[in-house]
Copies of this chain bind each other. A is one copy, B any other.
Amino acid sequence: MASFKKIDLSGVFPPLPTPFNQDETINYEHLRNNVTKWNEIGFKGYVVQGSNGEYTYLSDTERVELVRTVKQAAAPGKLIIAGSGCESTQATIDMTCKMAEAGADVVMVITPFYFKGRMTSQAFKTHYEKVASASPVPVILYSVPANTGVDLPADVVVQLSQHPNIIGIKDSAGDVTKFGSMVQHTQASGFQVLAGSASFMLGTYTVGAVGCVAALANTLGKEVCQLHNLFKEGKMEEAMKLQHRLIAPNSAVTRKFGVPGLKVAMDWFGYYGGPTRLPLLPLSPEEVESMKADFQNNGFL
């Protein structure tokens, strides 16, 4: 399996939202149209069913079908990373295999989190090693404390980086100290660290992150890719200025207004956003105005 380590994750990935009709059924046609537009942007690939995909609101069948749809609509060469995490180890393995069959090039596995008190380092290690050993495609770890309430410890990440089928991590907490520590102790093995948000992208790149999964890339894809490139070209002053401008819009579609906000912003930029599933509520008019200001004040609307 060692060859899997050669999959290159460097670049920008939007974590695709799931388009729903007003009756909450999935609209696959809108998804295909969105992907067709995103194909024009210099993304490395797509993340299907990160948190922004509302994956916790989807049935198993829907989860797999969404991967299949994105795979078919994606331009050749785009990497398909599918979020296959479930709470139990066995369910995660089953979903991993189904998503691989449906076209996922890589799976991204969120930390289990319900029984927080027992999610010890050993539990995380056991979970990820079993999943990675059973997976037909490489595995990326996924830590997102804002949603899960648990943080995958850096030393566990370092140990898991030794597994031949675990090739990277998406970390959405944005602690640059942890990012630096993870990169320092895993880079020899080819393990790759991805920033889980455009808000702290530049800071984490500076300590060795090679790519970014950014909700904001769904609406401001070119700009997020530009920030990636500016850093690669060493244009630090320009990169800083662009990073500054991305913080408020990114915070708006993540921390402040969540998936409902992201979908509103997608509508603004010519994509289909549409409604979320309940219990996620639509934004109030005041929230929409506030979010609009976050984009306008930074020159994006």
Binding site for B on A (CB under 8 A): 24, 51, 56-57, 59, 87-91, 112, 114-120, 122-124, 126-127, 130, 146-149, 174-177, 179-181, 183-184, 197, 199-200, 202-208, 234, 236, 239-240, 243-245, 247-248, 251, 255-260, 277-281
B248, A280: Cβ atoms closer than 8 Å = no
- State A283–B236 Cα separation when bound (angstroms): 41
> Which chain B residues lie closer than 8 Å to A281 at the CB level?
118, 120, 122-123, 126
**Known A90-B278, A118-B257, A200-B203; further 16 A-B contacts with Cβ < 8 A:** A51-B115, A115-B280, A116-B146, A116-B149, A117-B146, A118-B258, A118-B260, A118-B281, A177-B200, A179-B203, A180-B203, A180-B244, A181-B244, A181-B247, A184-B247, A203-B203
Q: How far does the Cβ of A229 sit from chain B's closest Cβ, in whole Å?
A: 15
> Which chain B residues lie closer than 8 Å to A278 at the CB level?
88-90, 126-127, 130
A127, B234: Cβ atoms closer than 8 Å = no
B127, A279: Cβ atoms closer than 8 Å = yes
Contact residues of A: prevailing secondary structure: helix
Q: How far does the Cβ of A60 sit from chain B's closest Cβ, in whole Å?
A: 8
In the A-B complex, the 9 residue pairs with the closest CB atoms: A176-B203, A203-B203, A184-B244, A57-B88, A89-B278, A127-B279, A149-B149, A56-B87, A177-B199
